[in-house]
Amino acid sequence: SQQGEEDPQALSIQEGENATMNCSYKTSINNLQWYRQNSGRGLVHLILIRSNEREKHSGRLRVTLDTSKKSSSLLITASRAADTASYFCATELRSGGGADGLTFGKGTHLIIQP
């Protein structure tokens, strides 16, 4: 079953604009991660935020986590054509380097128009 649900399912914006994707999940988590996937290839890890963190930045990425609402958002600023991809949130129930595996949402397909 899906733990995370991304919103929107698809998003099309102009290059240079900001893109915001949201993710909701159902159970308590240890951490939440965001991944990018280009054209059905492998997933690329973008950022990880732990359950005791509220906000994290990495380059043009900003992630927030609200554990009371069981939701997270990913903001990509100053979008580029190369940001066109599918973005997935994934939750991990406990630490330990992978014992529980990741539970993924269905993803948001982001299209950046030149």
Partner 1 sequence: KAGVTQTPRYLIKTRGQQVTLSCSPISGHRSVSWYQQTPGQGLQFLFEYFSETQRNKGNFPGRFSGRQFSNSRSEMNVSTLELGDSALYLCASSRTGTVNYGYTFGSGTRLTVV
Look at the chain and count its residues.
114
Q: Does 52 bind partner 1 (CB under 8 A)?
A: no
User: 63 is written with which tokens?
Assistant: 């992630």
Q: By CB under 8 A, how many residues form the interface with partner 1?
A: 29
Q: Does 25 bind partner 1 (CB under 8 A)?
A: no
Distance CA 65, CA 31 (A): 9
- Residue 71 or 103 having the CB closest to partner 1: 103
Q: Where are the beta strands (DSSP E) in the chain?
A: 5-7, 10-14, 19-24, 31-37, 43-50, 55-58, 61-66, 71-76, 85-92, 103-104, 108-113
Q: Does 44 bind partner 1 (CB under 8 A)?
A: yes
Q: Does 97 bind partner 1 (CB under 8 A)?
A: yes
CB 56 within 8 A of CB 74: no
Q: Does 2 bind partner 1 (CB under 8 A)?
A: yes
- Residue 51 or 73 having the CB closest to partner 1: 51
Q: Does 59 bind partner 1 (CB under 8 A)?
A: no
- Residue 19 or 105 having the CB closest to partner 1: 105
Distance CA 67, CA 61 (A): 19
Which positions touch partner 1 (CB under 8 A)?
Answer: 2, 30-31, 33, 35, 40-45, 47-48, 88, 90, 92, 95-107
